[in-house]
Amino acid sequence: MIDVTLDMEQYDCPFIHATEEHELAFSAVHWEFDTARQQLQTRMAVEASDPFALDEGLDTLHDHDALHEYDLISKTDGVAHIRTAIDETAAMGTIREGGGYITGPFYIADGSEVWHVGFDDAGEADGTLSRLDRDNEYTVLERTTPEMPDLQGFVQNAGAAMKLIEGCQDLSDVERQTLETAANEGYFESPRSATLSTLADEFDVSKPAVSKNLRRGQRKMLSRVVDVMTELDK
């Protein structure tokens, strides 16, 4: 297996177009290629410098001709979670036709996109990258040939990583915000630089309410962490 990390500039990608116009970034949470429709279906996390930039960027994305489906799943301040379906871009088509496949999440910001692409052998990789160079701007950031133990470790740990991700997704918006604020302001440090009182004041709720949100969030995450530790031990 040949693993290639590319920094791509695509002229027909709606996500790249949105990041050229506005200060925001897209991170793939899940993706799947629909061969019947020739469309890439994704769930994306979107981060912007502020709520205004987020709204403007999502409007630009929504208006792009290559975007066929768009659902706003959630939005909080400068962060959103969306589901989309877009046309297959020229670069995506070239890589698929050359035997390439996505091996990791992609990240889009400032008009370019970082891809992790795998090939079964060096000949496929060289030929596809050569064809890709005819109509696209890209830079090879890294090219590696993982050894079998590395691949086994990646596969074995992928399940553990997904459990942590699922734990984060299980949190409600209030629980997530409470945990993030508590961690950022030093509630879990010793000595504490934040207390239940200061957290309650920040969220404009009672101390029992903020304590309940903290305990619920901690219980959900700790349950996942224990599962992950057990899986890693195995």
Residue 160, pLDDT score? 60
pLDDT for the residue numbered 151: 47
Annotated domain spans of the chain: 2-145, 150-233
Query: Which pLDDT score is estimated for 72?
Result: 92
Output the pLDDT for position 207.
86
Note the pLDDT of residue 32: 85
pTM: 0.61
Instruction: Look up the CATH number of domain 150-233.
Output: 1.10.10
Query: Which tokens is 212 given?
Result: 């309940």
Residues 20-32: tens digit of each pLDDT = 989 999 988 788 8
Average pLDDT across each block of 10 residues of the chain; the chain has 234 residues. List them in order.
88 92 87 84 89 93 93 88 91 90 86 90 90 86 71 54 68 87 87 87 88 86 74 63
